[in-house]
Structure 1
Amino acid sequence: MSIRLGYQMPNLSYSAPVADLFPTVIAQVREAESAGFDAAFIIDHFYQASNVGEIDEPVVEAYTALGALATATEKIQLGALVSGNTYRNPPMLAKCVSTLDVASGGRAVLGIGAGWYELEHQQYGYEFGTLTDRFERLDEALQIITPMLRGERPTFDGKWYHVETAINEPRIRDDLPIMLGGSGEKKTFALAARFADHLNIHCRGGLLPRKLDAVDARCAEIGRDRSTLEVSYLAYLFIDENGDRARKLQRDFLLGRGVDLSTVSDTERATVTDRMFCGDPDEVAEQLQTRVLDKGVDGIVVNLVANGHEPGVVELAGRTVRPLVCG
């Protein structure tokens, strides 16, 4: 498994009838596949995240959507970035991702994280608990899910989860990849060092060197060769052949989140745009190279929150970023 270039879809607000929503999702993933993206990811939420849109904007259930995408594509890897561990008990999540793997002919990725969106938990009736609770649960879940994906039948009696010789069939392979996503230098990165094939880091770009040092440290603590853990970075792209149009997309997107770039200080501007890469293809490529790839990550997962649904934009992003990560 390798994910040097991934495409995430965090925003399904296309100002179109609901009947046209999923065909637009399929079109984006097919375009990503044609453009040489290694993987495509759906978010695993019930409400839209506030940093992307309003809570009642369209959000699809991740594994139902991924199953449909499996039949609409041929070679691109598919997963959630990332599955909220609190939304499914561990054997059910193992079953979901294994079924996706069978349906896609061996293209599933298990993306998983501890969960963070408190409002979803509250309004859907899921226990949220403390940060410590959620990471304890994720640790236990991975001790169950990992052997189930490898063809074992685990028995586990933990604080949060209990399984007895849990069977997970059918499976198409014993090496279905596990991806952890997040930014926690102690908890998330330690779990990635223990269980994951891939770590996708979510953080402000300026923090990336420190995060990568922490990944190195967590691997060293358990004696893992750091080179065996692939690491990517999640980037927000605002790209257009015309750089001024790209900058307008970024300004309009941030205005929708209550931030006016024309009035904020230089310090505030740097903070709110630190995960964003904006401009024409040459500008975006230069920003990604100097601000991300030169820091030492293996790959990049991009989203196109402003215009990814427009035909040709995913292809443009792939044409811009793929040469940087794949040579």
Structure 2
Amino acid sequence: MTIKLGFQIPNFSYGTGVEQLFPTVVAQAQEAEAAGFDSVFVMDHFYQLPMLGDPDQPMLEAYTTLGALANATERVQLGTLVTGNTYRQPTLLAKSLTTLDVISAGRAILGIGTGWFELEHDQLGFEFGTFTDRFNKLEEALQIILPMLEGERPTVNGTYYRTENAVANPRFRDHIPLMIGGSGEKKTIPLAARHFDHLNVIAGFDELPGKLAVVKKRCEEIDRDPATLETSVLITVLVDDNATADMVPADMSQRMVVGSAESVADQIKTKVLDVGIDGIIINMPYYTPGAITAAGEVLKPLVNP
């Protein structure tokens, strides 16, 4: 598994009628594939996020969307950034992943996290609880999901979940790449070191060196080569020759870069790749045909020199 250059679709509000909504999603995925991105991600949410829009704005269900994108693309890996564990029983999630892997001929990625959007939980009837509750649920869910993805039949009688010889067939591969999103130094990073191929670090630019130091330490504590736990960061990108840094909202200044394509590439190289992060996943505030291509042209050489 390699996620060197990924594209995330964070917004389904395109100012079009609903009949053009999914064609616009397809256009982005196909443009990213043609531009050399190695993976395409969607959000796993049912409501639009507070920083992006109102809760009643369009939001497509993630795994239905990914299944359709599997038929509209040929090469890119497909996944969520990231699945909220609280939204599905682990057996259902394992089945969704193996099905996506079959449909896409081996291009599925399992991206997963604890879940965090409280309004979504409250209004749709998902139990939210404390962060500790959600993290404990994730740890228990992985005892079911990971064996099922590898063709085993786990029996679990846990605090949150129960299974008996659970099976997910058919499967396309013996191992679907595993990505976790987060940066908690006491829980998430150690969990990533124990079980995952990839850690999407949710942290600001200034925090990245410290997070990578923790990744190295947690891997070494369990005799894992830190180089085997791939890392990435999600960055919001605005490619616009007239855009300047003072246009970036204060709460996004540590996770967003703006400017010409060349300036964007220089900023990402300095703030992310030179620090030691392995790959980058970008999203864009809105979709302008050609913008993904422009970003890909300058970013691909940085991650595949």
Q: Shorter-chain TM-score category? A: over 0.9
| C-alpha distance in structure 1 between counterparts of 2:283 and 2:11, whole Å | 9
Q: CA deviation at 1:281?
A: 1.3
Structure 2 residue 85 is the aligned partner of structure 1 residue 85: yes
Which one of 286, 294, 305 corresponds to residue 316 of structure 1? 294
Q: How does 1:293-308 map to 2 (within 5 A)?
A: 293-305=273-285, 307=286
Q: 1:310 deviation in Å?
A: 1.4
Paired residues in the alignment total 305
- Residue ranges of structure 2 left out of the alignment (5+ in a row): none
Say if 2:256 is the partner of 1:276. Answer: yes
TM-score (norm 1): 0.91
Which string of whole-angstrom CA distances, capped at 9 and with x for unpartnered residues, describes residues 86-123 of structure 1? 00010110000110000000000000000000000000
Secondary structure, counterpart of 2:40 in structure 1: strand
CA contact (8 A) 1:186 1:218 kept: no
Once the two structures are superposed, residues 223-264 of structure 1 have per-residue CA deviations (whole angstroms, 9 ceiling, x without a partner) of 211111111111110113xx21x349x83xx6xxxx5xxxxx
Task: Tell me by how many angstroms 1:217 deviates.
Answer: 1.8
Identity score, percent: 55
2:116 and 2:90 map into 1 onto residues whose CA distance is: 17
Q: Give the 3-state SS of the residue equivalent to 1:292 in structure 2.
A: helix
What is the SS of the residue equivalent to 1:100? helix
Alpha-carbon RMSD across the aligned residues, in angstroms, is 1.3
Whether 2:272 is the aligned partner of 1:289: answer: no
| Mapped partners of 1:11, 1:187: distance in 2 | 30
In structure 2, how many angstroms separate the alpha carbons of the residues matched to 1:143 and 1:186?
Answer: 19
Matched to 1:59, the amino acid is M
Counterpart of 1:208? 208
Structure 1 segment 1-327 matched on structure 2, within 5 A: 1-240=1-240, 243-244=241-242, 246-247=243-244, 251=247, 269=250, 272-305=252-285, 307=286, 309-327=287-305
Q: Secondary structure of 2:47's match?
A: coil
Contact 1:178 1:197 in 2 (8 A): yes
* Aligned partner letter, 1:286: D
In structure 2, how many angstroms separate the alpha carbons of the residues matched to 1:129 and 1:218? 27
Letter in 2 for 1:288: I
Cα distance between partner residues in 2 of 1:143 and 1:326: 35
Q: Which letter does structure 2 place at the counterpart of 1:204?
A: G
Stretches of structure 1 lacking an aligned partner (at least 5 in a row): 260-268
- Report the counterpart of residue 264 of structure 1 in structure 2: none
User: 1:221 deviation in Å?
Assistant: 2.2
In 1, distance between residues paired with 2:25 and 2:165? 38
Query: Post-superposition shift, 1:12?
Result: 1.4
How far 1:51 sits from its partner (Å)? 1.6
Q: Which amino acid aligns with 1:319?
A: E
Query: C-alpha distance in 2, partners of 1:10/1:276?
Result: 14
Measure how far apart 1:198 and its partner are.
0.8
Q: Is the Cα–Cα contact under 8 Å of residues 238 and 247 in structure 1 kept in the other structure? A: no
Distance (Å, rounded) in 2 between the aligned partners of 1:50 and 1:23: 25
What is the DSSP-based 3-state SS (H/G/I as helix, E as strand, rest coil) of the residue aligned with 1:51? coil
